[in-house]
Amino acid sequence: MTGLLEDKRHLVNARIRLARQIERSGVVLPVALAEAFLNVPRHPFVPVFYRREGERFVPWRMRDGDPDKWLAAVYDDDSLITEVDGVHAEQAPAAGLRGVPTSSSTAPGLMADMLDALDAADGSRVLEVGTGTGYNAALLCRLAGDRNVTTIDHSPALATAARSRLAATGCAPQVLTGDGVHGLPDGAVYDRIIATASVPRVPSPWLEHCRVGALLVVPLKGVLAGGAIARLTKLPDGTAAGRLLHTPAAFMPLLPARVPPPAFPAFESPPRASSLSARALDDWCFSFFAQLHLPPTVTRAYHQDTAGHVTMLHDAADGSAARIADHPDGVRVTSMGPRDLWHIIERAHHHWQTLHRPRREWFTLHVNGTEQTVTYTTEDGHRHQWRL
């Protein structure tokens, strides 16, 4: 099995196949970025990762079964789950465990899209928030130079493992442990900032770490699954502005909240009919638009019951809740509290259709301290705005 990792030609071919997969996914790799993916190996950073077996996450090492299949999975353009509920795959029992993924190695195609947007070149000072496995930091070292890359992760275990693996592959960035949301205590200034996990809003300390003209690439994710990636430029007045990338992104949160599932109230009001299925929220474009209309205190859950698909929305701030049941005979909505949360989604869906279903890359984002505004401008110049 170790012989497979010593076969340099085999590993080079694996990286070539990965680069071709990335390009087939629609990402046109610039020469420098293609060179990075062709020269930076992925397997040292994910020696163990989880694979799903039913409802369990089972750790997968090269020695577990077919090593060629394991290596093919590593060099596939797909994300690899490396941590579940804080338990890294290397420490997981052989039988696996149930839980919620809390860290992963991002799909290389998505990494490539973000790195292309970041436009880091040799000499660019880069801050990466969310070290994870260290693979992205290794690519950044190849693009900008080791001495110019700083990476930080909230998990001491992840930072320690990444530091060791980076050193083993010949990379020596500065690897820190801490809460990257609040920036770095040294007040360093960077030309590029990239986050590898999602935040609901762009943390204002990140702007303070940017030179004028610096680029930020930040995954955003709100109440629903409609994540997006913002590419912003630091402006002379201290604000930042830019567009959203076309790529949908469902990144895990930068600092996963360890809170119990919401306790939804019992519904007593009579149900009403709706023409909108809750499965509309599975549409990446609409879910992004819909979450602009909901406060950040709303939580969403869904399950399958004997009659059909059930979605629940709950706002703990004011007690509003909605139960949307997709049954064969139609959609039934039951609500309680001061607001009908599903009515908000219904109005948003109508508005989205009126605007001809705009894609996320047609929206702009402006960050001014605590105020962050998403804007969509129609062809006739009319502006629609929402606050994050």
205: left (phi over 0), alpha (psi -120 to 50) or beta: alpha
Q: Are 50 and 92 in contact (CB under 8 A)?
A: yes
Q: List the domain boundaries for the chain.
A: 2-93+102-244, 272-354
CA distance 36 to 138: 9
User: Would the pTM of this model clear 0.85, i.e. be above it?
Assistant: yes
Structure letter (DSSP) for residue 345:
H
Structure letter (DSSP) for residue 135:
H
CA distance 127 to 344: 38
Res 1: pLDDT: 47
The runs of H, that is alpha helices, within the chain are 2-6, 8-24, 31-39, 67-74, 108-118, 135-144, 156-168, 204-208, 284-291, 341-354
CA distance 45 to 168: 10
CA distance 379 to 388: 23
CA distance 63 to 292: 46
Please state which CATH class domain 272-354 belongs to: alpha beta
Q: Which two tokens stand for residue 67?
A: 């090593």
CA distance 216 to 29: 19
Residue 246 backbone dihedrals phi, psi, to 5 degrees: -70, -20
Low pLDDT (below 50) residues in the chain: 1
Please state which CATH class domain 2-93+102-244 belongs to: alpha beta
Beta bridge partners, 48, equal 61
CA distance 221 to 198: 6
Distances in Å between the alpha carbon of 306 and those of 277, 309, 323, 326? Answer: 17, 9, 15, 11
CA distance 91 to 97: 11
Neighbours of 386 (CB within 10 A): 15
Q: How far apart are the first and last CA of the chain?
A: 50
Q: Which residue, among 242, 216, 19, has the nearest Cα to 119 in the 3D structure?
A: 216
pLDDT of 262-293, one tens digit each? 566 666 678 999 999 999 998 989 999 999 99
